[in-house]
Every structure is written in C-alpha cells, then in structure tokens.
Amino acid sequence: MRMRKKRHGAERLQNCAEFIAPDREITKADASAPFVNKKGEIHLEIGCGKGAFAVKNAASRPEINFYAMEKVENVIINALEKAMARKDEVKNNLRFICGHAEELEEMFADHSISTIYLNFSDPWPKKGHHRRRLTAPDRLDTYKKLLVPGGKIIQKTDNVELFEYSVEEYRNAGLTVEFATTDLHNSSRAAENITTEYEENFMREGKPICCVIVSTAK
C-alpha cells in the first residue's frame, strides 16, 4: 500500500532546508562542500529511515562529516526534524539526501567516502529479488568505486539469511571481512555500537542483531 503523504510535507521540508544536501553536481565536485570541516572523513548511511542513527552518530563524532540517504520523502521528513531538534550538535556535520542507491555515482566522486553504513536494509527475501539488495554485486561495485582505499562498509541486520548472503557477496567482490557476528550486542563491539530505531525495538524483544564490517584494499 502506498504511504500517504504527510500533511504540510513541503512546508516541513522547507523548515529543515539547512540540513538538506546541496545539488548532486556540488557534492560530486566536492563531497565536503556543505560541511564546516573540509578535511573531515565523509561517511554515508544508505537507508537512514527516521534518522536516529544518523543524528546520534553525527552528534557523537563532530570530526566526521555525515550524509544520510533515504528514498522515501515521508520518512526523511522525520529524520530532518530529528536533526533540527538537535541542531546545535549536528548543524556542522550532517546532511540528508532524498534519493536512491542507484544514483550514488551521480552524487559522489570515486574514492570520496570513508565509511558506508547499511542499517537494517530491506532483505528482499524472494530469490528473484536478490538483485535489489543493497549488498547485491552491482551495488558492491558502486561502493568499491566510491570508497577510499581501506574504506569500510558496516552492515547491521536482523535477517540471518541476508547477513549470510552479504558476507558471501563481500568476499566474492574482493572485500576483506574484518568482523562478523550474529549477536552484536554480546560481542566485542557492543559498547561502541550506535543503535537505530529498528534495533532498539529488536533489543526490547531480545532479538539478536547480525553485524559485518568489511574493507577495501589499501
């Protein structure tokens, strides 16, 4: 069922305009263009949902420049409003993009991104739909182009089948698996983990979270 448009959506977007990334021609020429710290690493979350992870990450790491991408306008309004609520903490290092992963090469130059986050992406469980996954081979080819040497992909999911598929595809793509677990919250990375909205719900249910971190060649 199609999501109903939010009331006053255009007005709400305009009220948060300072957190919307500039046109792709600008970010393609210089990914650091909208940020105060021009030398900070560029991190990108693909599928940011309502923005909890992006806002918490940017607030806790002011030295890093964050882009958060979401394809659904209704959802990104919520993310933008979260950023506005913590404006003083994230105004210098967080910007949102309403767009699709297929468009990333139009938005960013090769070797411009240090870390890509894939948090609770759609698992597309039907085998015929696997090519739509954010860890399908075509998507991984794009990420490898955009990442700096030694750049990382950090993925979290509650779907074990997607986790296993992704680990295999990372290896097939020549990426190095640095960390992998099917129980993140009881792992060595639990203390440094920043949660998403979905993740907090799963935690309350006692559901384990899978995580994998991979890197490109240096």
Amino acid letter at 36? V
Residues 6+ apart with CB under 8 A from 161: 123, 125
Q: Which residues are catalytic?
A: 122
Query: Whats the size of the chain, residue-wise?
Result: 218
* Structure token pair of residue 104: 């990333």
Residue with the two structure tokens 């970010």: 27
Q: Is 129 helix (H, G, I), strand (E, B) or coil?
A: helix
CB 54 within 8 A of CB 79: yes
Question: What span, in angstroms and rounded, lies between the C-alpha atoms of 79 and 83?
Answer: 6
